[in-house]
């Protein structure tokens, strides 16, 4: 499972799938429960980050700045994760 | 004898390492391999600084050994206050390393402030994106915004 393997590879960066908070989606993605968070319908994170279609990914830094992305599409997300994995690798 | 010999050897090794690293850093690009397969990055000024710090540690240990203080014995005899300072230092170093890992993934990447917007955690609490990322860097993968499911989140 991609999210699970990314979580292990990218530590200490936490990996979260972001979903819409709907009962049907919770059921559909139940296997992501240990990691999932939900977009706030009222003050949407996706809207703030200009995520207009999925899949998309963004890296939030601890210093209040975006540290990577947003990127869209499976290929670009995999490339971003690859860059992060390289950056996390010990020198 | 052993108490003095070990730190002396460590000091000599680190001093020699430092000379080699300085020479490599000045003359040519090269890989350090200082910690075997865990250290395959290029030798840079940061490598020199790191080895300088290692050498300083060896000097401190060496001086303590010649004064008759073994490192482990000194630590075991240390007061609660000393241990508290040591733990605080380790915590600060760990925090620095963690924050350093949140650097941009590319040198050309122009970083933007995290915009407004919030997410809801499984316990129902809402958090702004900035608050979410404050204690730990986060990779958010938006899996489902459209009607159709996203294959890569399966």
For the stretch B37-68, pLDDT in tens is 555 455 667 777 777 887 787 788 778 778 77
By the CB < 8 Å criterion, does B67 face chain A?
Answer: no
Its ipTM equals 0.93
Contact B105 A62 (CB under 8 A): no
Window from A83-87, B82-86, B102-106, B150-154 with minimum mean pLDDT:
B102-106
pTM, full prediction = 0.54
H-only helix segments in A1-91: 2-10, 23-28, 45-48, 74-88
CB neighbours of residue B131 within 10 Å: 13
φ, ψ for residue B141, nearest 5 deg: -110, 110
Number of A/B CB contacts below 8 angstroms equals 194
- DSSP reduced 3-state for A67: strand
By the CB < 8 Å criterion, does A55 face chain B?
Answer: yes
Interface test with B, best of A54, A69, A79 (most B CBs within 10 A): A54
- Set of chain B residues whose Cβ sits within 8 Å of the Cβ of A64: 113-114, 130, 133-134
CA distance readout (Å), B15 to B47, B83, B119:
13, 29, 51
* pLDDT score recorded for residue B108: 67
């Amino acid at each position: 499972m991609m999210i699970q393997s990314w979580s292990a590879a990218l530590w200490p960066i936490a990996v979260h799938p972001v979903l819409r908070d709907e009962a049907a989606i919770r059921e559909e993605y139940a296997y992501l429960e240990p990691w999932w968070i939900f977009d706030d319908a009222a003050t949407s994170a996706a809207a703030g980050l200009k995520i207009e279609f999925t899949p998309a990914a963004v890296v939030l830094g601890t210093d209040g700045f975006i540290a990577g992305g947003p990127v869209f599409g499976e290929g670009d997300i995999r490339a971003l994760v690859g860059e992060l994995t390289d950056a996390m690798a010990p020198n | 004898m052993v108490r003095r010999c070990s730190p002396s050897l460590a000091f000599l090794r680190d001093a020699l390492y430092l000379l080699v690293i300085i020479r490599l850093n000045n003359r040519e690009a090269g890989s350090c391999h200082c910690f075997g397969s865990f250290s395959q990055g290029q030798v840079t000024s940061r490598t020199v600084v790191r080895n300088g710090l290692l050498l300083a540690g060896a000097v401190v240990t060496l001086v303590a050994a010649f004064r008759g203080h073994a490192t482990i014995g000194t630590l075991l005899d240390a007061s609660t206050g000393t241990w508290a300072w040591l733990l605080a230092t380790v915590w600060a170093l760990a925090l620095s390393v963690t924050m350093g890992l949140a650097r941009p993934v590319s040198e050309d990447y122009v970083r933007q402030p995290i915009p407004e917007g919030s997410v809801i955690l499984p316990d129902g609490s809402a958090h702004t994106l900035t608050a979410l990322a404050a204690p730990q860097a986060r990779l958010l993968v938006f899996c489902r915004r459209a009607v159709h499911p996203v294959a890569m989140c399966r």
